[in-house]
Structure 1
Amino acid sequence: MYSPYYRTPRLYLSGYLPNGQPLPPQSMMDDIVGDYKDKTVTLEDFPFFANNIKMASVHPCKHASVMKTLLDRADAALRIRRDKLRSGKAVGSDPGMEGLVDEVAKLDVKSAQEAADKDEWEEVEGVDADEQEVAIRVDQYLVVFLKVRTHHVLPTPWPRRGITV
Structure 2
Amino acid sequence: MTTRWLTAEEQRAWRAYVAASLLLEDTLDRQLQQEAGMPHLYYSILANLSEAPGRSLRMTDLAESLKITRSRLTYAVARLEKDGLVRREECRRDKRGSVAVLTDGGMSVLERTAPGHVETVRASLFDRLTPEQVGQLEEICTRIAQGLQGDDGASGPEDLPWRRRSSRPCS
More helix by share: 2
TM-score by length of 2: 0.24
